[in-house]
A = this chain, B = another copy of it.
Amino acid sequence: MAAVPGLARRIARSGVLPLCSRPPVWGRAARQPPSLLLTPCRTFSNNKILVELDESSGVATMKFKSPPVNSLSLEFLTEFCISLEKLENDRACRGVIFTSAVPRIFSSGLDITEMCGKSTEHYAEFWRAVQEMWLRLYGSNMVTVAAVNGSSPAGGCLIALSCDYRIMVENPKFSIGLNEAQLGIVAPFWFKDTFVNVVGHRVAERSLQLGSLLPAPEAHKVGLVDELVPEEKLQEKAVAVVAQWLALPDHARQLTKSMMRKAVLDRLVAHREEDIQNFISFISKESIQKSLRMYMEMLKKKKS
């Protein structure tokens, strides 16, 4: 997969900060017997994302900490890709749990301010980062579990859909779905492909046209999430699910995952530049810009 242009530069300036006292040992050196480590947990953080890696189990938890709503800004996406790549290359890590450190919201999806009143170059950079996030997550060799502890519209839903398994807090006030149509936007074909692979063609066709945001119980009923749990059980359940998936030999599991997802991943890779151009020409339309501005005004008023 092609890297995000400027990713190296961004990594360099992103200032990933080790939060624990031990020096961060990413890589083989970390594969010491767990007994040698007193606290077998390494913690990393950047501005938007906190990563905790439990070395005894090989499971990391990636927490979204970008209040108020964990929107997927260029900065968030870049940090997400950097963190995921670090874990992917870290032999101490075999599974990742994605969850939110912000109450009541998993992620609100793509950051509208990145799509409003910016340059063509900015739109291209932003969209490439959205693609990169999905390509890395949907194609990850690690076991990926979404622990959805809040609402998760649009791009937030895409993150959950791209994982191997989705657990959601059973609170019916939390909803999830690809609701792009409600904003007058069309979900990209690879959002759609990912969705169809999870819920099938019929549920996808109906939900995408209605821009449905389903309350947790309904999302479970149509298969959009695999399991509902009380909020206090979420992390524990997610850890148990990752352990279950990790009980399989990595190599066989990874090849199987790739076999299931390759067609859909390849499709975006083959049409990546075209997809960026489509996004730019769509988002640059005055009618779309206007409706996004109105939507942002509405959000601002709601806030104050």
Contact = CB atoms under 8 A, between A and B. Distances in A.
A36 interface: no
Given A185-B252, A186-B252, A200-B201, 13 more contacts: A180-B252, A184-B251, A189-B259, A192-B259, A198-B201, A199-B202, A205-B260, A208-B259, A209-B248, A209-B257, A209-B260, A210-B248, A211-B248
Contact of A252 (B184, B189, B255): B184
Contact of A202 (B183, B192, B198, B210): B198
A244 interface: yes
Interface in A182-235: 182-187, 189, 192, 196-202, 204-206, 208-211, 223, 226
A32 interface: no
The 10 closest A-B pairs by CB, nearest first: A184-B249, A181-B252, A205-B260, A186-B255, A197-B201, A184-B252, A208-B256, A209-B256, A209-B253, A181-B248
A210 B244 contact: yes
Given A259-B186, A260-B192, A209 B251 contact: no
A54 interface: no
Nearest to A211: B248
Contacts of A204: 260
Contacts of A257: 205, 209
A165 interface: yes
Interface size band for A: 35 or more
Interface of A: 164-165, 180-187, 189, 192, 196-202, 204-206, 208-211, 223, 226, 244-245, 248-249, 251-253, 255-257, 259-261
Nearest to A180: B252
A260 B196 CA distance: 10
A224 to B, nearest CB: 10
A196 B261 CA distance: 13
